[in-house]
Structure 1
């Protein structure tokens, strides 16, 4: 008995030493997490056609050590994911360049923890870190490379302002299925989006090497935030590669593989971060000066540079399908699609929406009553952001249909593709108050955000479009005759 007790004591002491060597700091709050907009569920085929392996490893900064501080959320978001996103956007694969351009975690941590609290032991949430990156950004690690700080130098706020993120979504709920957790994270990675996770890390995780060999029950251990940077269906039977913030001596040079099953069992939160590609400036008219002889003014003039308005690219398509499987054909007339056939009350159909460029998608409807209703997103905790280069969703989903009610006349549908978020409730309220046809009222509510009809190229033979404009929103109108 004495030998057994001594062995247990030694094992516990070893585990405590391993844990005390590394800091964590994620605060679990399932209620707050559930209120964050979640990515809309894509069509099943969007998840089944993924490559067998995909990696963002070449865009990662070196794995640094957060020390014994509770700063993991800022390391996972600002240092890891934000740096990776910038490396992808700029095409950086040189480790020297990526490390030089990495972002500071403590700038984020100090503000979300509360500036009036000394030290860096308090835990924080991933959501708060991402909100701060959205609002204030982050400076470079080289400008603020401390592990803990009592204050933030004022000059850093201006430097951080140029490095905000555009948006973020959650990918799944804490108690979603194994398949849902694995497929959504794989999809995000395949679209060049690092995934920030909140995981329960038991004692065995502190000691893992190339792969985590889990020995404890599910969700055992405290909360820790990290960044998923790769997946491989063949590695250890299927696993995710995780970049940690415990230095290069931990795991395999700061990384470890986590098997899909262990990942699903222990990961409660997952976020994808979106940093938009820089829109291409389109100066108009295109300057082509060719003076002869070439002038040499003295002194050399220093004209004030004129701001260039960015151009946004939007593209997408729609398909209305009856419950019988038949496509509801439409024709384009004066910028409005009109169904070729009329449909009776009780007709059931499904709307398939595709985006061919990242966009915020909103669907609203109206009828003879002029009341404007929201169709998508159906609730506030579903995100309108379809941030992948191409994705597909079904309205209401792949199992259910929309059923036409008893209000006869013309049913109006508007699908808005926008490069920037829209306050859809305010837009609906303004459209209801306005006069004119449904399309006129929606365009009036969009105002200068609406791309001019003349700048939209519609797709022949289907409901679809593409547009490049300095305006940010394309409304696609569909009328259905309701008998």
Structure 2
């Protein structure tokens, strides 16, 4: 009888653990449209850039064991710090399926929550914003959980100045939002693209009713209710439940499927209010590698610092505007002195002159992660303007072998009624640039537009000898043994009549 009683008690205890409702668990996500839209949105890549995605992809092998936030409203710290930051760090270190190593190096949810929660909330009753968590990790970094322990009953501890110095070693490269506040256009495609490129996504679920229950698939409520909860998307599968995302929660391993659950694509679009992609620094590699052969005394320097890109100007009828490469493109690449003639020397020139009213788009490709900027120069009035990134968009190009259309897939650029030589300048960069400062120097410098831009970038530009240009299209490859080489400016001359 004792064994039977013990078994019944154990089963009842297990049932109660699994039957814990949402009211027994903390959430803690706050929403703000202003705060959300202050975060730059990811680059508006073309729809066709999503078509080659794999049918399923998972970052779960890089995820730590789901933790339990208890009743503390610290879900943002768990999702952003413990979840997404740890996943990105494990990916960077290639710790796939190494759960012991991943858990030992998991990041601290308290480091995040304790610093971003509402000022004066010493009783840990207020939530926080995902945007604030991302900014903290971007600007200040984060400590590991072993360095800054989680206390579900207190949130007043703050890292020391020495701890903040150590945290800087774990800063993320950047972060972006994936959709507009009230228009989650192609949100599913954007989240899938991020996951397939090994970038974890932190989402904010809103009025979801109830998450707890049995089985791995979440069923939406008949009547939407409740507040907000932050979690991490770790995978997707187009075949599972008709297409669904796998999400990591912060209510422990007894929640649903070991702490994870699935949400169908359509339900995801309905109940996800905010979505942020976390982008970590790439695994560091040396810029140069010197090899000495045993048969000769020759030292060979292998160029490891690389960047490449491609640009196309395409008319509204679908035809490309044919370019010609300047015969002096490489020789004059680093010359910053303005020429004596009135015509500005560009890297490429468009063969045909086009009349006012002609419509076209600019298509930008990047072969690697980096930053892309576009500046326009009007020859008739010598105006200089930033054309990309648009307001509230990120200059960071996070995806390889993808394209951006400028202005977008629905609209065109149209030649105005001021004939003359216009110049388009595309900047491909390995680091974030102060584009407003560059535009100011291009606008008010003593030389012509091309010379002014080169002068503003002269200490960061790849050398002409490091570059290879395509002759039949606007494309380049650059490789340097110098780590100071960061930027390739491409100037395209367009005449309209």
Q: TM-score range, shorter-chain basis?
A: 0.7 to 0.9
Counterpart of 2:312? 319
The SS at the match of 2:195 is helix
Q: Which residue of 2 aligns with 1:258?
A: 263
Per-residue displacement from partner, 1:383-427 (whole Å, max 9, x unpaired)? 111112232111111122111112222110001111222221221
Q: How does 1:114-193 map to 2 (within 5 A)?
A: 116-147=120-151, 148-154=154-160, 155-177=162-184, 180-193=186-199
Question: Is 1:89 aligned to 2:96, yes or no?
Answer: no
Q: Which residue of 1 aligns with 2:40?
A: 37
- Return 54-63 or 43-52, whichever deviates more: 43-52
CA–CA distance in 2 between the matches of 1:459 and 1:282?
Answer: 24
Which one of 241, 247, 250 corresponds to residue 242 of structure 1? 247
Q: 2:281 aligns with which of 276, 279, 296?
A: 276
Look up the match of 1:366: 377
Deviates more, 1:334-343 or 1:463-472: 463-472
Q: CA deviation at 1:153?
A: 4.2
Alignment match, 2:490: 476
**2:80 aligned with 1:80:** no
Distance 2:310 2:239 in 1: 35
8 Å CA contact 2:208–2:271 kept in 1: the answer is no
1:75–1:407 CA distance, 2 compared to 1 (3 A): same
Q: Aligned to 1:65, which of 57, 64, 68?
A: 68
* 1:27 and 2:27 matched: no
Task: Show the 5 A alignment for 1:70-469.
Answer: 70-93=73-96, 94-113=98-117, 116-147=120-151, 148-154=154-160, 155-177=162-184, 180-200=186-206, 202-218=208-224, 220-283=225-288, 286=290, 288=292, 312-333=305-326, 334-335=328-329, 336-368=347-379, 369-379=381-391, 381-469=392-480
Deviation (angstroms), 1:283 = 4.3
Structure 1 stretch 27-36 or stretch 197-206: which is displaced more? 197-206
2:80 and 2:133 in contact (8 A); partners too: yes
The separation in 2 between residues aligned to 1:313 and 1:256, in whole angstroms, is 41
1:44-59 alignment runs, 5 A limit: 44-59=47-62
CA deviations over 1:110-148 (Å, ceiling 9, x no partner):
111257541333211000000000111111112222234
How big is the alpha-carbon RMSD for the aligned residues of Structure 1 and Structure 2?
2.2
Q: Deviations over 1:341-400 (max 9, x none)?
A: 122222111111111111111101102222111111122x11111112232111111122
Aligned 8 A contact 1:71 1:121 in 2: no
Q: Equivalent residue for 1:296?
A: none
Question: 8 Å contact 1:314–1:358 — kept in the other structure?
Answer: no
Q: Which residue of 1 aligns with 2:297?
A: none
Where 1:416 maps in the other structure, the secondary structure is strand
Structure-2 separation of matches of 1:261 and 1:217: 16
Q: Is the 8 A contact 2:77 2:112 kept in 1?
A: yes
Counterpart contact for 1:65–1:246, Cα < 8 Å: yes
The answer to which of 350-359 and 457-466 deviates more is 457-466
Cα distance, 1:323 vs structure 2:
1.4
SS in 1 for 2:163: helix
Measure the CA separation in 2 of the matches of 1:278 and 1:32. 31
Q: Offset of 1:15 from its aligned partner?
A: 13
Aligned to 2:10: none
Q: Structure 1 residues 64, 203: closer, same or farther in 2, change over 3 A?
A: same
Q: Provide the rounded CA distance (Å) in 1 between the counterparts of 2:122 and 2:173.
A: 30
Distance 1:38 1:208, change over 3 A: farther
What SS does the aligned partner of 1:92 have? coil
Q: Gapped runs of 5+ residues in structure 1?
A: 1-13, 291-309
- Secondary structure at the residue paired with 1:204? coil
Shift of 1:453: 2.6
Q: TM-score, normalised by structure 2?
A: 0.85
- Shifted more, 222-231 versus 447-456: the winner is 447-456
Pairwise CA distance, 1:23: 0.6
Give the match for residue 8 of structure 1. none
Query: What CA distance in whole angstroms lies between the structure 2 residues aligned with 1:396 and 1:130?
Result: 28
Instruction: Report the 3-state secondary structure (helix = DSSP H, G, I; strand = E; otherwise coil) of the residue aligned with 2:438.
Output: helix
Q: TM-score, normalised by structure 1?
A: 0.88
Residues in 2 aligned to 1:150 and 1:52: alpha-carbon distance in whole angstroms: 45
How many residue pairs get matched? 447
Find the aligned partners of 1:140 and 1:416 in 2 and give their Cα distance. Answer: 37
Cα deviation for residue 331 of structure 1 reads: 1.4
Residue aligned with 2:427, SS: strand
Hey, what's the Cα distance between the residues in 1 that align with 2:188 and 2:59?
A: 17
